[in-house]
């Protein structure tokens, strides 16, 4: 009892008591004993944080130490890859400082306002500096779907939709455009590496992208990529770079291995000497190259500075058992280039990870179901079990079997809140009211009125966008007589309330009520959609302005209530199905990895270069390190060839993933399912009763 009291008193005195030596070194780098110094004058810090090594806790303690050491919370920039991660980090910092009884610092953490995503922080800075970089502060932000629609409008306007040969569709065009910006590569290089079938359209794509950019500028809108591009261009000016860099004494970046070249360029422009710069990540978990992320950012980080950045490695794992870590270490050791580290754990176990050989994916589904139920009976809830796979279609057979066996499951993915048609309708009205030059929003909003089609909407937009501000009243625009009354009501909604900022959020309530009166005419399933609109209104009431509401909602969309609507769950428990990419950052007691074979891991579509193969290796490593106690990799042997007659028998045999070579097999338990039945025992008189068929065969030719 006395020992426990002593530990509690020690923890109150030493806020770093819960950290191991490596975590403590990372949390206190550049901060003198006693909390003096804020690390601003010290060289940059790179924290290589292995899976399950307490990265979030370490980063939170570093922020807390900086605040306690005298750094103004308003001069701390914390960049994460989700707003929820930033909020969680702020909460942890406040909790740590509270334990130190630092009332001044605790109050200060509530002012840790510069914590958010790259895109969110970029949007805030662009609005602040809009006047100095030629932007309208009232710009709106398009999500991916809106950006694709605007790209399509430019595509049609240039006549690319009527070519004799197929021109890339809007989604492909937007993906190419985004890849060029985020990778900082030439258009020709992007086409050759990622879109070779589009290479013949290089000159036309260049014209299309110019038209797309001009359309955005004319409408005063930015897309996701623009938030980073404009920020990078802004800090490309020495004066602005120095001003923004000095504004933040400390810049801390989480998940640095997931940054792209544009994000890295922003950081290096703001902190060219690296003073006050801390980045945290794990090169072994860099798996988002398809989004433009590059592992080179974290691998090359120390060499960008002179002297090189300080490197601290967190290699103690608090999640998995040692046999799982030994196998995972062996897999990642084959990477061509990495920061050398071997994860270790105090959690010992006699159970090795399993390599399970199965006949085909049908047996794979049956095996997963049986093992899942067996573990459930042994006390492991379904929620504590996860089935991971490289691509979403790999779980199709399993989903059918789970449904047949009445086992509830949740598969990560699905419709996002802002992708729902009714939500996009309401937001389009608000966006157009805030920015009359946003043609895409206006085009969608006007067609919500019965009797107004694309031609009328296009004519009104032309009148509005060419008129001087306040020179054209919406109510006076030419519309069909049948739609006159509804149009006047709609115009009054726009002109009379929404553009008056002081009436927020009452103005938005009016929009929601107007739309709810139309929802039965516009959509089926009105009840579920009504719930979404009501939820949207409640969200809006928590923001101080329409501008802030639109920005935050676009950059960090919540889940849809209508996504959850439907028959109630058959059980309070449910199994987790997830792609490996979606599983990053998660952990479960038991993990099964489907199709751990060549062609699936690595994907046969991602073996064109050594860099792609290395990323596939890291993907398997991420999957393996999600498991706490039980891990199994499933190896179906036979795959039937598609595009043949139903019930055809053409098939190929698969081989174990190349990332688990023969040298790693001792780290695994190898088994097969179903187990072969024992051969029948030989009859004791079998030899005496046997026919001499061999003699008969010879006699046929005598």
pLDDT tens digits along 299-314: 999 999 988 999 999 9
CA–CA distance, 54 with 209 (Å, rounded to integer): 43
Q: Which pLDDT band, with edges at 50, 70 and 90, does 499 fall under?
A: low
For residue 128, give the nearest of 269, 234, 266, 239 by alpha carbon. Answer: 234
Are 32 and 71 in contact by the 8 Å Cβ rule? The answer is no
Q: pLDDT (tens digit, 9 = 90+) per residue, 354-381? A: 999 999 888 999 999 999 999 999 999 9
Residues contacting 111, CB < 8 A, separation 6+: 73, 74
CA–CA distance, 569 with 407 (Å, rounded to integer): 10
pLDDT of residue 554: 76
CA–CA distance, 554 with 418 (Å, rounded to integer): 8
Q: Which of 168-177, 307-316, 549-558 has the lowest mean pLDDT?
A: 549-558
CA–CA distance, 265 with 270 (Å, rounded to integer): 9
CA–CA distance, 206 with 520 (Å, rounded to integer): 43
Backbone angles phi, psi at 115, to 5 degrees: -125, 120
Alpha helices by DSSP H, 569-637? 580-583, 610-624
Would you call 356 helix, strand, or coil by DSSP?
strand
Q: What average pLDDT does this structure show over 577-602?
A: 93
Residue 561 CA from chain centroid, whole number: 20
CA–CA distance, 588 with 566 (Å, rounded to integer): 27
CA distances from 66 to 63, 75, 247, 291, 600 (A): 5, 11, 16, 33, 45
For residue 355, give the nearest of 70, 611, 2, 659 by alpha carbon. Answer: 659
Stated length of the chain? 702
pLDDT of residue 7: 45
Q: Which pLDDT band, with edges at 50, 70 and 90, does 546 fall under?
A: confident
For residue 398, give the nearest of 376, 371, 357, 368 by alpha carbon. Answer: 368
- pLDDT over threshold 90, residue 251: yes
Are 12 and 99 in contact by the 8 Å Cβ rule? The answer is yes
Q: What average pLDDT does this structure show over 207-229?
A: 94
Q: What angle do CA 553, 559, 560 make, to 5 degrees?
A: 105
For residue 263, give the nearest of 246, 281, 249 by alpha carbon. Answer: 281
Q: What average pLDDT does this structure show over 264-282?
A: 94
Residue 549's region, left for phi above 0, alpha for psi from -120 to 50, else beta, is alpha
Q: Please list the residues that pair with 116 across neighbouring strands.
A: 79
Q: How many CB atoms lie within 10 A of CB 181?
A: 22
Would you call 199 helix, strand, or coil by DSSP?
helix
Place of tokens 């006050």: 276
Would you call 354 helix, strand, or coil by DSSP?
strand
Backbone angles phi, psi at 76, to 5 degrees: -110, 125
CA–CA distance, 563 with 535 (Å, rounded to integer): 13
pLDDT of residue 470: 54
pLDDT of residue 36: 45
As given in the structure block, the two tokens for residue 364 are 């794979």
pLDDT of residue 532: 79
pLDDT of residue 564: 43
Are 222 and 437 in contact by the 8 Å Cβ rule? The answer is no
For the chain, report the end-to-end CA distance as a whole number of angstroms.
97
pLDDT of residue 108: 44
Which helix (H) or strand (E) is 250 found in, with range?
Answer: strand 250-253
Q: Which of 52-66, 242-256, 551-565 has the lowest mean pLDDT?
A: 551-565
CA–CA distance, 505 with 291 (Å, rounded to integer): 36
Q: Which of 295-299, 418-422, 432-436 has the lowest mean pLDDT?
A: 418-422
Q: pLDDT (tens digit, 9 = 90+) per residue, 20-54? A: 999 999 999 988 654 444 445 578 999 999 999 99
Residue 82 buriedness (CB in 10 A; 0-12 / 13-18 / 19+): middle
Are 281 and 245 in contact by the 8 Å Cβ rule? The answer is no
pLDDT of residue 164: 63
As given in the structure block, the two tokens for residue 383 are 């929620």
CA–CA distance, 199 with 185 (Å, rounded to integer): 15
CA distances from 6 to 10, 20, 61, 97, 440 (A): 6, 19, 22, 20, 65
Q: pLDDT (tens digit, 9 = 90+) per residue, 95-152? A: 888 776 544 444 444 567 899 999 999 999 999 999 899 898 889 999 888 899 899 8
Peptide bond into 505 cis (omega under 30): yes
According to DSSP, residue 168 is labeled: P
Q: How many CB atoms lie within 10 A of CB 549?
A: 22
Alpha-carbon dihedral 560, 565, 568, 569, rounded to 10 degrees: -30
pLDDT of residue 240: 94
According to DSSP, residue 416 is labeled: -
CA–CA distance, 590 with 39 (Å, rounded to integer): 41
CA–CA distance, 218 with 157 (Å, rounded to integer): 15
- pLDDT over threshold 90, residue 504: no
Residues contacting 529, CB < 8 A, separation 6+: 420, 422, 519, 523, 562
As given in the structure block, the two tokens for residue 269 are 């422009």
For residue 382, give the nearest of 414, 416, 408, 343 by alpha carbon. Answer: 408
Are 66 and 108 in contact by the 8 Å Cβ rule? The answer is no
Are 58 and 51 in contact by the 8 Å Cβ rule? The answer is no
CA–CA distance, 672 with 312 (Å, rounded to integer): 42
CA–CA distance, 527 with 543 (Å, rounded to integer): 26
For residue 248, give the nearest of 269, 224, 227, 232 by alpha carbon. Answer: 269
Q: Which pLDDT band, with edges at 50, 70 and 90, does 4 fall under?
A: very low
Q: How many CB atoms lie within 10 A of CB 41?
A: 10
As given in the structure block, the two tokens for residue 313 are 């490695």
pTM for the complete prediction?
0.80
pLDDT of residue 236: 92
- Describe the crossing of helices 224-235 and 118-128 by its angle, rounded to 10 degrees: 60
Place of tokens 């020179």: 471
Q: Where does 545-658 show beta strands of DSSP type E? A: 575-579, 588-593, 627-640, 651-653
- pLDDT over threshold 90, residue 526: no
- pLDDT over threshold 50, residue 9: no
Q: What angle do CA 391, 331, 600 make, to 5 degrees?
A: 20
CA–CA distance, 560 with 535 (Å, rounded to integer): 9
CA–CA distance, 343 with 201 (Å, rounded to integer): 48
Q: pLDDT (tens digit, 9 = 90+) per residue, 667-696? A: 999 999 987 666 666 555 555 566 788 888
């Amino acid at each position: 009892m006395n020992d426990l009291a002593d530990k509690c008193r020690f923890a109150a005195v030493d806020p770093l008591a819960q950290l191991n030596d490596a975590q403590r070194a990372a949390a206190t780098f550049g901060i003198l004993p006693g909390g003096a110094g804020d690390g601003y004058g010290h060289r940059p810090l790179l924290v290589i944080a292995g899976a399950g090594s307490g990265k979030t806790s370490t980063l939170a303690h570093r922020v807390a130490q900086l605040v306690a050491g005298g750094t103004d919370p308003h001069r701390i920039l914390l960049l994460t890859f989700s707003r929820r991660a930033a909020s969680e980090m702020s909460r942890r910092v406040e909790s740590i400082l509270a334990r130190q009884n630092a009332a001044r610092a605790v109050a200060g953490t509530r002012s840790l306002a510069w914590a958010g995503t790259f895109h969110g922080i970029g949007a805030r800075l662009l609005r602040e500096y809009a006047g100095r970089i030629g932007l309208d502060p009232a710009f709106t932000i398009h999500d991916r779907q809106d950006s694709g629609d605007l790209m399509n409008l430019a595509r049609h306007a240039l006549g690319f939709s009527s070519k004799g040969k197929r021109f890339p569709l809007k989604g492909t065009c937007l993906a190419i455009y985004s890849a060029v910006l985020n990778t900082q590569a030439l258009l020709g290089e992007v086409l050759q590496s990622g879109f070779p079938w589009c290479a013949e359209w290089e000159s036309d794509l260049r014209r299309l992208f110019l038209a797309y950019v001009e359309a955005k500028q004319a409408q005063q809108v930015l897309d996701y990529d623009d938030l980073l591009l404009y920020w990078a261009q802004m800090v490309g000016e020495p004066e602005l770079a120095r001003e923004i860099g000095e504004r933040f004494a400390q810049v801390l970046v989480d998940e640095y291995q997931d940054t792209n070249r544009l994000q890295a360029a922003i950081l290096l422009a703001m902190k060219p000497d690296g003073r006050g710069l801390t980045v945290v990540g794990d090169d072994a978990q860099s798996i988002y190259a398809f989004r433009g992320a590059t592992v080179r950012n974290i691998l090359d980080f120390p060499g960008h500075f002179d002297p090189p950045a300080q490197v601290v490695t967190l290699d103690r794992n608090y999640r998995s058992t040692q046999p799982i870590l030994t196998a995972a270490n062996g897999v990642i050791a084959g990477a061509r280039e990495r920061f050398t580290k071997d994860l270790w754990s105090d959690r010992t176990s006699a159970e090795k990870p399993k390599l399970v050989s199965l006949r085909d994916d049908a047996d794979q589904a049956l095996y997963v179901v049986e093992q899942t139920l067996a573990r459930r009976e042994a006390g492991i809830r379904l929620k504590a079990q996860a089935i991971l796979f490289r691509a979403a279609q790999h779980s199709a057979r399993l989903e059918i079997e789970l449904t047949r066996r009445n086992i509830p499951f949740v598969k990560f993915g699905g419709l996002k809140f802002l992708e729902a048609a009714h939500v996009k309708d309401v937001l389009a009205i608000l966006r157009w009211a805030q920015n009359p030059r946003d043609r895409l929003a206006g085009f969608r909003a006007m067609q919500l009125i019965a009797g107004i089609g694309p031609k009328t909407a296009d004519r009104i937009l032309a009148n509005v966008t060419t008129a001087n501000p306040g020179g054209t009243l919406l109510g006076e625009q030419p519309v069909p007589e049948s739609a006159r009354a509804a149009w006047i009501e709609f115009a009054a909604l726009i002109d009379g309330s929404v553009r008056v900022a002081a009436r927020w959020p009452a103005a938005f309530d009016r929009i929601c009520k107007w739309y709810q009166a139309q929802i039965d005419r516009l959509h089926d399933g009105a009840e579920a959609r009504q719930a979404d609109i009501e939820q949207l209104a409640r969200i809006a009431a928590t923001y101080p302005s329409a501008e802030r509401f639109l920005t935050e909602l676009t950059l960090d969309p919540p889940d849809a209530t209508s996504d959850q609507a439907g028959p109630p769950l058959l059980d309070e428990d449910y199994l987790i199905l997830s792609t490996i990419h979606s599983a990053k950052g998660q952990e479960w007691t038991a993990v099964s990895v489907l199709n751990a074979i060549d062609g699936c891991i690595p994907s046969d579509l991602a073996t064109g270069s050594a860099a792609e193969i290395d990323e596939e290796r890291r993907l398997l490593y991420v999957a393996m390190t999600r498991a706490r106690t039980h891990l199994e990799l499933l190896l179906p042997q036979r795959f039937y060839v598609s595009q043949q007659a139903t019930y055809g028998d053409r098939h190929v045999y698969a081989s174990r993933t190349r990332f688990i070579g023969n040298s790693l097999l001792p780290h695994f338990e190898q088994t097969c399912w179903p187990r072969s039945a024992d051969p029948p025992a030989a009859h004791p008189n079998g030899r005496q009763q046997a026919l001499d068929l061999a003699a008969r065969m010879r006699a046929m030719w005598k």
